Amino acid sequence: MKFITKSLIALFIGCVLSSCKTSKEMTKEELILIESGTATTPFRILKITDPLDYTILRKKCTNVDFKKDKNVLPLLIGRMKATLEEANGVGLAAPQIGLTKNIFLFVRVDKPDMPTEVAINPRIVKHPEQTICFENDGCLSIPNLSGNSNRYPWIEVEYYNEHGEIIKERLEGYRRGENFVAIIFQHEFDHLQGVLFTDKLCD
């Protein structure tokens, strides 16, 4: 009985530390993609109009392994920032550039100068029951199309930044022209689950 109890405790601790998600180091193909350019070289953004791209965009991602991939992360993040800047977007998730990893960029429209921040292995830990209908949601991977999507008006989140520091915060805002950072985070988080905004359309 004691052995079973200790095993369950050890399993629980291990699950908490890993967020109960599998962390996998980058594959050879993923490393080739990341290292195919410099930190200022944009990636190609995948589009749902391409069958292979669509398959990747619909895959659920696995956690980033900080220990094994720390050397390649600066290059990946640099290239993702260059991609987002070139596309003039407010968010970019790894599946959109061909990597099925739990990492995305989001523009902090709620902060002065609107800096671009990195969310690695993110989680949404709390949200209200009610949703709002966010107007004119759009996606870099779905060109020339926008729609209204069901979203939470606020969320409590946990994620790691590029330095491996854990960030815990409450994000609010769902109005364009003011603050809609909570919507951006939800949109990019959905990408990591293989979910597109077109799956959440409302009237």
Q: What are the distances in angstroms from CA 30 to CA 25, 55, 71, 81, 94?
A: 10, 16, 14, 17, 11
d(CA 92, CA 83): 8
What gap in Å lies between CA 198 and CA 200, rounded to an integer?
5
SS3 at position 14: helix
Which one of the listed residues 86, 117, 129, 188 is annotated catalytic?
Answer: 188
Told to judge if 162 belongs to the known catalytic residues of this protein, a careful annotator would answer no
Alpha carbon distance 62, 41 (integer Å): 24
Which residues are known to be catalytic?
188
